[in-house]
Each structure stands twice: as structure tokens, then as C-alpha cells.
Amino acid sequence: MNIQRGLLLATALLASQSLATPQTESALPAWQDPTVFRINKLPSRSFFYSYRSAEEVNTTNPFQSSNHLLLNGEWQFNWVENPQSKIEGFEHNDFDDSQWDTIPVPANWEINGYGIPYYHSHNCFAPNVTPPELPQTYNPVGQYRKQFTLPDTWQNERVVAHFGAVKSAFYVYVNGQRVGYSEDSKTQAEFDITDYLKAGDNTLALEVYRYSDGSYFECQDMWRLSGIERDVYLFATPKVHIADYHSEATLSADFEDGILNLSTRIANVDSGTHRDLALKVSVSDNGETLAEELLTMGSLSSDSEQTINWQLTLADIEAWSAERPKLYQLDLTLLADDQAIEYVSNRIGFRSSELRNGQFLINGQPVLFKGVNRHEHDPVTGHVVSRESMELDARLMKENNINSVRLAHYPNDPYWYQLADEVGLYLVDEANIESHGLGAANQGAGYNPANHIVNQPDWRDAYIDRIENMYQRSKNNPSVVIRSLGNETGDGPNTEASYDWLKQASDEPVISEQAQLRRHTDAYGQMYASIDQITHYAETQVDSRPAILIEYEHAMGNSLGNFKEYWDTFKQYDSLQGGFIWDWVDQTFLRHTPQGEAFWAYGGDLEPPAVIHSDSFCANGLVYADRSAYPYLHEVKRVQQDIAIEFDEASKQLSVSNEFFFIDLAGYELSWELIANGQVVAQSLQNIPLSAAAQHTQTIALNELELDQFSGELFLNTSVQLAAAQGMLNAGHIAAQSQHALSSAFTPPLADQATRLRLRENDERFRLSSNVADIQFNKDSGLLTQVSYHGEEILAGSSRPEFWRAPIDNDFDISKFQPSLSTWQWVGRSMTLQSIDVTRIDSQRVKVSTVHNLPSVQSQYLSEYIVHGNGRIDFDLWFYAAPHQKQAELPRFGTLFQLNPALSQVAWYGRGPHENYSDRKTSADVGRYQSTVEDLYTPYVRPQENGYRTDVRTLHFSDDNQRGVSFLGAPLLSFGAQYYSTDDYDASKGQVSARNLHPHDLQKQDRIFVNIDLRQRGVGGTDSWGSPPLFRYTLPWLDYRYQFTMQPLNDIDQ
């Protein structure tokens, strides 16, 4: 292996990071002064652990090593409502805290019964605030105390207190002395406490403020919680120690060789000069040393530091990417007088991240970001997230073809970066900056630049401090490929200065959606840009920068429509490189009703009535808070799969396209099934190994496939799976699937037995009966009111046309939805009968025709029923739109049936098995599926339209004896079935207002509400505050007609 090395030394006096002079408190307390945000706080550094021996380096838990002391656990705790009420002198060793409560650390104090948790999408702490004003009456303070015993072996060491995350600001005390102060609640705060310690027992105390001037940076769309949110520990190092290092592991111009630029800061905080110092650097791969060198330093005087710059070139390196996350081991050993005194070890990945020729490139390839935004949230512990939860998130993302994560909207727990390095996820690291409560650029009249901290010079240093905290901590993680200036930060001189600082620190890409196309962003990151907008951006080439949507497809409630259309567009244009779905996980809390029923709590559930909140706007996840999946996670997986499969029926050839950028398909296998009328009639005898290189296509001939011998509707289903376990993915993991329609000659099994039909009438109804069926129509309403087969009641109430759906979250804020769309809520119930005509066709059939007027929309509804003696009813239904009226589009056009609740078993031949809609059905293959009415229901956090299935050929409802009713499409229908009516989803019974409902608020009825539809409007997903579904998935003001058949289940071939 060709190895090239270089060495450079630089020496400097120790200094604080980006500030010319150390910060001190002025007349204003630090938590009220925007110019003071760190006092006596160590400079930001990369995240790593320091060890005493080579053996300890290999420990799986650094807190089991001799120079780390984990302080997590129970702490003494006192909580007060405002700073005026805090206890003075609590930090002293002799303070009596025996009457205080205890609280776990880490923990949010609101989750543990102190203060108010509240959810708001953007307010700082109240609307219409003026920086740096803070609440006076309610600004809780938490006072913490922890006793610890200093290990004997630490007596002559430097000791640092590490606080992983504390919100929003805090003072730290040791043995009664104030050590320092910190803001920025999502990056580590470290303090050298050596001079404050004594042998034996010591007292560590924190005074934490819920609100500080730093809160103006932390108006993120999340629950507003406080306290110590990540690990607290002490660690010891020699007085001469590795203060920080930067392992910039990049690639040569041809992406073949690895180039390591290593910069290591050695600091001496001892009182005297240290001589004969050296740093040993080693790079290895699976235990094999690739390069090793001893770098001599000479002497290092007191209170100074020396930077060692070293370069290494390794030929034929294996580059890191999310597809193949190859890592190498970097070991640093500090020596004094030829004796090792400190060990630091980390894993590095060689990769490049750059902008070139209008595209974002990783290792020279224009990767697509198949991403999500991820908040740190746990349904029980709030912002305290366990390693197990992070591992579950990473595994689920890999299983569902998600390759990237935007850290919304703050630096995450360090373990998340380690996971991303190891399993392969591209990260957009984001500074803990969101001042959305003061308004955001590009978002309308609520943004007042004059009042915004982004334009105020006093806040500039605080901006850059947070940028530097983010950058320094993750600069060695190969998974971090883009850095973000924050979210909805406003835009002005302070974000420009932040961009300039980052670009000086690193030439890797920086993004800011607030900058739009101004100079201080390297990509166009517009939030919630529509498909038309990104198409226009790509076609007009208004700018040379790539478009990467930092937020798109707002997955609030029943959403994520037109996802395939987004990805068809991304793949069509080189300048469009994907984006990040909002978002990964619901920010809801597990709570229980007084009766013990579990539910997901959202805004308004935990706050007192007077507190402003943002309802269920926190429930936008692809997964629930417990990480169980919403139905549309299937859509994400299918649409974003990296293996595309096409089938040519004439040649019987499969084309398997490898859309990965860095790996071939060796290790993947393909299988297929031929489906006739929903049944498997042929399949691959063995899995077919794949081999296509990255960005190449492999052709597979299916010579054994004899299509001519099968009749009916044919589909070819394919599946690509892993032959062996790979990282977090198990053997057999399905990486890609496809379904190919080969013919559409499906003939529904219509009941055709010849059975005589009797016709009778009285003043109230027409009755059509036989030895099979009893069917009745009401003369006054013209509605089908009764159907029984073989003496068993099918209907539990009248059927009627249905034009309405329970509003989904994407419906609520569409400006046109209220009141014009809401007109349709009552159309089917307020219609008036114009005529009903009953005509005998022959001895076995009778035709019932009705005309209804729809006065609220000045239109007509026509129905024709052909009733057969064998129980079959052929429906032919029309909506005639008034020619000179322009009402809002229809939410749906269909028929509502109320079925006997005993008919709870459901089987269908159509799209499934999971919920699907007209604009979200790519992942729902046509097949035969079974369920129950109960299991068709999707319990969205806020109840809304759910459980739909589309493109249905046949649908059966049966009881435990397999008797019931079938609905047959002519050719297709869509259906939903549940124990709730649309009225049950309307909290105020007659108003379009259901913002505070939960599933447990719905009372199951004694009937099954079944919608048999032509279709309903799509669910949309471009955003949840105004954008309707794509036009092709709506029902505009037009005439509509559809047909279907209803017949006894037990009289046909199911």
C-alpha cells in the first residue's frame, strides 16, 4: 500500500474559541444578556472519549473505564416558578437538601411533574415578544445537587465536567464555587473543574433556567421542555492532553485514494513545561495496521498548546457512503518520556462531499437524498432518547429505503452520529437556531426584520457560537455531509456571518432555506416546494445550485399523497436531488384515560386551558411515537427503493436496474410469482442471484413463464431480497418489489341463478322478495332501506349517496375547504325525492329508478337498481352537476351502507393489504386480502378519514358462518368500512371542527359503516395548510357515473 506522510507543528497560547476575550457577567444576569452565552466554558471540540490504557480503549462502555465517572441517576432537586423564588446558597457543601425531591438525570422536569409541558409549532414562549425580554412571572428554575466521590487516581489529573444537553441555560457550581455558565441546549457544555475539587466527597450543583435569552434561538416545532436532557459525567485526563483533533478523511481527485489530513491539538494546563512529548498515530482496518507513525513534539510550556498537522495518503481505499459505510480505525496515543499517558480512538470514513457542475456530489456521484427530518422524541421521557430508541430508528430507516436524515432542528445525541457512521445514513447537521417565534423569512407578513435578532449586531456572536458548537462536535463524522445554519432563522447579517464562518472552517456544503437563492447557501432548500415549483426551477435553470428540499411531504395525519410524483420529478432532472420528509416520528406522549385506555397526547392535552398550543401539529411522523408504522411508510419504502424492475411481456425478460451509486447487487436475489385472478399459479423455483453494477441494468429471461396457459387477470410480482444479513438488515430483507399488469381480463363472479322475484307495495315501501332475498325501498325517500339474504339481515339502516369524508388534517387548512367543500357534508342527507319508478323487466328482475334533487348544490342524483330474484342488485348511479354552477370539488362520490355488525370479516380482491388512496397506492399491490372491520381502521392520533382501499374488484363481508354480502366493481370500486360514521369524527356535531378528538373519544356503533365509492379525493401532502391534492386526484365539478353489484356472499364463488 502506498503511504505518503507529512508533518507540521504549530504552537499557541491557550485561548477561548471564537471570542477575543473571555466572557463575564455584566450588570445583567447572563441568562438575560444576549452578548453573554458562555462563561469559563471550554472551547467546543469534537466528541470523543479519553482513555488511560490501550485495553480500556476497547471497552464497549466508556463509563466502565477508570477515567470516566457517570453522574446519571437520582439528583436532589428543587423547582420554583421564577428566578425571584430560587433558593440562595443551595450550591454550598453544607446546604441541607434532605427535604428536597429527587429527579432522574437525564430527564425533562415537566415530564416528572414540575411545571407545564406545552407544544407550539413556533412561538418562543408567548406571541408578540421583543428580544431580549423574558417572562417574569413564569420562568421556572430548577436547582440540582449531586454528591460524588473523586477517585483517588484522579488526584493529579485534569478533571472536566461534561453536560451533554441542558435546556435552556445553566450555571454550574462545584463545592459552593461558581464554575461557569452555558447556553445552547443541544450541544455539550464542558468545564475544567480541577481547581474546584477536593479529595473525597464533592458537591456538584446546577441552576437551570427554563427561559433565557437563548430561548429566542430555540423556538423549534416541538414540545417546550426543560432540564438536563443528556448524559452528565466527569472525565480525567493528564495535565498534558489531547484537547481536540480533526481527522479530515477525504478522497483523491479520482476517488481511488484516501487522504487523511489530521490536525491534533495538544494542550498543557500544568504549571510547568513538559518535554519529550510525542504523538503516535495509527490507522488500521479490522486489526491490520495500514499506517503508523510517531510524531515528536519536543517541549510544551505551561498554559499553551501545540497543533500537530499530519497528512497520510492510502492508495486504493474503500470509500465511505451510506450504501457501503466502510470505516477505518484511527488511534492517537500521547506519550511523555516514551510512556503512553493518553489514548484516543475513533472510526473514520474516507469520503468527499462537494458541489460541482450544479450538483451535490458524494464521492463524485450525484446522490439522491431519500431523507426524513427527525426530532429527538420519546413517548414517555420526552427529549431524553435512549440508545435503544436510536438504534430502532436507524434500523427502521434502513429497512424502509431511507438514506438520509436532517437533524431537525438541532445537533443530536452523539450516539446518533456514531450510528449513522456505522450503518450508513447521510446527515444534515443543523445548528440549534430557530427564531420562528419572531417570524421567518419568505413566510409572509408575520416576519418583521427590524424586530428580528438575525439583524441585530448584539446577537451575532451568539449565532456564531452555536454554529461553531455544531461544527466542532461532528467535524469527524463521515455521515455529516451537509451543515445547516438552522431552521426558520430569519435571514440577515447574522446568518450571512454564520455561513462565512462555516465556509472558512470547511469547504463542505452549507444549506439555509431562509437564504433562498442569496449567496449564503450552497443549495436551494425551499420548504414545501410543490412539484410544479421544483419542475419550474429545474427547467428554467434560474440558478446553478441544486435543489434539495429540506422539508417536503408534510406527513400530518392521513397524508403523503403524490409521493411517487415527487420522485418521478426528482429523477427527471439532474438539478433535483431529493429531500427530507416532514417528519420521522410523531411528537406525542403516551397517556391514559381515567378508565385506563391508552392514547397519544398532543397539544392541548397536557397544558392548562389558557396556554396557547398547536393542537396535533406535532403528529407528522411516518411512525407513531412508539415507532410502529403508519400505512404510508410502505409508500416511502416502495417509491424510494434503489432497485427498479421492469418486465417485457413479449420477450419474457426482466430488466433489473441498480440505482445505487456505489454498490453492485451481489448479495441480492430475485424471486417472482405469477398471479391469476389473485391466486398464485406459478413461481420461481429458486431465487435468482443478481449482479448488476451500480447504475447498470441486468436482464433476466423468464423462459419458463408460460403465460398462454393461464386465463383471467394476470400480474407478475417480483421481489428482491438479501441473501445474507447485511449490517442492520436481516437475511431475507425485502429491498425492492414490483407488480406488472399483464392482462386485465377479470370477470367478476356474478350470481346468475334463475329465481322468481315477487313485487309488492304499500303506502310506505316497495318490497321485492324471493326465496333468497328480501329487498325494500322507501317510497318517500327513494332509498334502499332493507336487504336480507336467506333470512339474515344485511343492512342495519338505509343506504344513501355520500359526498363527504371525515376531514383529514390536510383538508382542514385548505382555504377552499371551509365553507365551500363543507357544503357536501349535508348534500346526501338533505336531498329530496323527485320521482321513483318501479318496473318489472321479467319474472326474475325488477328495475327501480329514482331521481333526487340536491338543492344545496342545485344538481341531481339519479339511481337505477336492477334487482334479481337471486338477491343480486346492480347499481347504476349518476351525479349530474348543474351546468351553470361552480361548486367546490366533491370530497367523494359513493354510496354509504350500514351493515349488520355481525358481518365483521372482510375479504377483497384489490389493492392492499394496507390502507391506500388514489394518490398513495404505489406500494399497495393488487391481490386477495383478508382482515376484520376492526383491523381496517387506522387510529390516526387525531381521528379522521382512514382505512380506505382502492381499485377493488370484489369485496366480501361475512359473519362467523361465512354468510354475508359481496360487492363487485364494474369494473372497480373503492371502499372503507368501520364502526364509526363521518359524524362521529366531527367533535362539534355539525361543524367542521374536530381538532381535539382522540380515538378514545369515538364510540363504536352497533353497525358497520361501509362506503362503496367511485372514488374520493386524494389525501395530498405537499403541505397541510393550503395545498390541495394534485388535480388528477380530485373530483372537480363534473358529471359522474359508476356501477357496482351487491349480492349474497354464499351464492357465489368467493
Three-state helix/strand/coil letters over 432-485: CCECHHHCCCCCCCCCCHHHCHHHCHHHHHHHHHHHHHHHHHHCCCCCEEEEEC
Q: 829: number of CA atoms within 13 Å, CB side?
A: 8
Q: What's the length of the chain? A: 1054
Q: How far is Cα 808 from Cα 1023, in angstroms, rounded to an integer?
A: 12
Does domain 364-636 bear CATH number 3.40.50.150?
no
pLDDT at 633: 99
Question: What was the pLDDT predicted at 793?
Answer: 97
SS3 423: helix
Do 170 and 191 contact (CB within 8 A), yes or no? no
DSSP one-letter code for 864: E
Cα torsion at 1020, 429, 458, 434 (round to 10°)? 20
Which of 544, 545, 435 has its CA nearest to residue 491?
A: 435
Distance CA 18, CA 596 (A): 54
The answer to whether the peptide bond before residue 901 is cis (omega within 30 degrees of 0) is no
Distance between CA atoms of residues 394 and 194, nearest Å: 38
Give the pairing type, strands 873-880 and 288-300: unpaired
Q: What is the mean pLDDT of the chain?
A: 93
Separation CA 810–CA 895 (nearest Å): 23
Nearest-angstrom CA–CA distance, 172 and 119: 28
Given 2.60.40.10, 3.40.50.720, 2.30.31.70, 3.50.30.40, which CATH number is that of 641-744? 2.60.40.10
Percent of the residues in the chain that have a pLDDT greater than 90, as a whole number: 83
Tens-digit pLDDT profile for residues 995-1006: 678 999 999 999
pLDDT tens-digit readout, 852-888: 999 999 999 999 999 999 999 999 999 999 987 777 7
Spatial contact of 304 and 11, defined as CB atoms under 8 Å apart: yes
Annotate 474-490 with b (16+ C-beta within 10 A) or e (fewer): bbbbbbbbbbbbbbbbb
Handedness of CA 973, 978, 982, 986 (dihedral sign): negative
Q: Which three cell numbers stand for residue 621?
A: 411522523
* Catalytic sites, residue numbers: 488, 551
Q: What is the pLDDT confidence band of residue 23, given thresholds at 50, 70 and 90?
A: confident
Looking at residue 240, its pLDDT comes to 97
Q: What is the CA radius of gyration of the chain?
A: 33
Confidence class for position 994, pLDDT limits 50, 70, 90: low
500 membership: H or E segment, kind and range? helix 493-505
User: Among residues 305, 241, 304, which one has the least CA distance to residue 67?
Assistant: 241
- 743 exposure class (CB count in 10 Å sphere: 0-12, 13-18, 19+): middle
CB neighbourhood size of 642 (10 A): 20
The whole-angstrom separation of Cα 822 and Cα 815 is 11
Percent of the chain with pLDDT over 70: 96
> What nine digits make up the cell of 12?
499557541
CA atoms of 502 and 428, how far apart (whole Å): 14
Residue among 306, 162, 184, 155 nearest 235 (CA): 162
Of residues 183 and 19, the one with the higher pLDDT is 183
Is residue 226 within 8 A of residue 241, CB to CB? The reply is no
Residue 990 has pLDDT above 80, yes or no: no
Q: What is the pLDDT of residues 744-762, one digit of tens each?
A: 888 999 988 899 999 999 9
pLDDT in tens, 124-167: 777 778 899 999 999 999 999 999 999 999 999 999 999 999 99
What is the architecture, at CATH level 2, of domain 44-237?
Sandwich (2.60)
CATH-assigned architecture of domain 3-11+240-348: Sandwich (2.60)
Q: List pLDDT tens digits, range 160-205.
A: 999 999 999 999 999 999 999 999 999 999 999 999 999 999 999 9
**Confidence band, pLDDT 50/70/90 cuts, at residue 673:** very high
What pLDDT shows up at residue 815?
46
Residue-wise pLDDT for 697-722, tens only, equals 999 999 888 888 898 999 999 999 99
Let me know if 388 is exposed, middle or buried by CB neighbors in 10 A (0-12, 13-18, 19+). Answer: exposed
C-beta of residue 456 within 8 angstroms of C-beta of residue 449: no
Give me 170's grid cell: 445553566
- Mapping DSSP onto H, E and C, the string for 227-276 reads EECCCEEEEEECCEEEEEEEEEEEECCCCCCEEEEEEEEEEECCCCCEEE
The answer to whether 1012 touches 800, Cβ cutoff 8 Å, is no
Q: Which residues, at least 6 apart from 962, have a Cβ–Cβ distance to it below 8 Å?
A: 905, 1049, 1050
Asked if residue 21 has pLDDT above 80, the reply is no
Domain with CATH 2.60.120.260 in the chain: 44-237
Cβ atoms of 1002 and 1042 within 8 Å: the answer is no
CA gap 140, 79 in Å, rounded = 7
Q: 3-class SS at 421? A: helix
CB 354 within 8 A of CB 336: no
Could you tell me where in the chain the CATH 3.20.20.80 domains are found? 364-636
Its CATH class, for the domain covering 758-1051, is mainly beta
Contact 169, 30 (CB under 8 A): yes
pLDDT at residue 819, as a whole number: 55
Residue 585: how many CA atoms within 13 Å on its side-chain side? 28
Q: Interior CA angle at 182 toward 90 and 477, to 5°?
A: 135
ω into 999 cis (within 30 of 0): no
Question: What's the rounded Cα separation, in Å, for the pair 968 and 874?
Answer: 9
Residue 397 neighbours by CB under 8 Å, 6+ apart: 372, 403, 405, 425, 584
20 band by pLDDT with thresholds 50, 70 and 90 = very low
The dihedral formed by the CA atoms of 378, 382, 385 and 386, expressed in degrees to the nearest 10: -80
- At residue 816, the pLDDT reads 47
Q: Where residue 991 falls among pLDDT bands split at 50, 70, 90?
A: very low
Residue 3: pLDDT band with limits 50, 70, 90: very low
> Interhelix angle for 531-540 vs 563-572, to 10°?
10
Q: What is the number of helices (H) and of strands (E) in the chain? A: 11, 61
Kindly state the average pLDDT of the residues 798-816. Answer: 85
> Which burial class, exposed, middle or buried, applies to 617 when counting CB atoms under 10 A from its CB (0-12, 13-18, 19+)?
buried
Give CATH 2.60.40.10 domain extents, the chain: 3-11+240-348, 641-744
Give the pLDDT score at 18.
46
Q: Are 950 and 923 in contact (CB under 8 A)?
A: no
- Is the distance from CB of 289 to CB of 282 less than 8 angstroms? yes
Which residues have a Cβ under 8 Å from the Cβ of 356 and sit 6 or more positions away?
none
pLDDT at position 418: 98
Handedness of CA 502, 47, 19, 487 (dihedral sign): positive
Residue 13: band (very low, low, confident or very high) from pLDDT cuts 50, 70, 90: very low
d(CA 230, CA 219): 20
Place of cell 456572536: 461
Containing 469, the helix (H) or strand (E) segment is: helix 460-474
**Identity of the amino acid at 534:** I
Q: Cis peptide before 583, with omega less than 30 degrees from 0?
A: yes
348 Cβ contact partners less than 8 Å away, ≥ 6 residues apart: 247, 249, 260, 283, 327, 328, 329, 330, 476, 478
Burial bucket for residue 904 (CB in 10 Å: 0-12, 13-18, 19+): buried
For residue 838, how far is the Cα from the chain centroid?
56
Provide the pLDDT confidence category of residue 822 given band limits of 50, 70 and 90. Answer: confident
Q: Given a cut of 80, is residue 2 above it in pLDDT?
A: no
Task: For residue 166, count CB atoms less than 10 angstroms from its CB and return exposed for 0-12, middle for 13-18, buried for 19 or more.
Answer: buried
Q: Is the pLDDT of residue 15 over 80?
A: no
| Between 515 and 70, the higher pLDDT residue | 70
Q: 867: buried, middle or exposed (CB in 10 Å: 19+, 13-18, 0-12)?
A: buried
Task: Choose among 434, 412, 492: nearest CA to 217.
Answer: 434
Name the nearest CA neighbour of 727 among 414, 405, 394, 351. Answer: 394
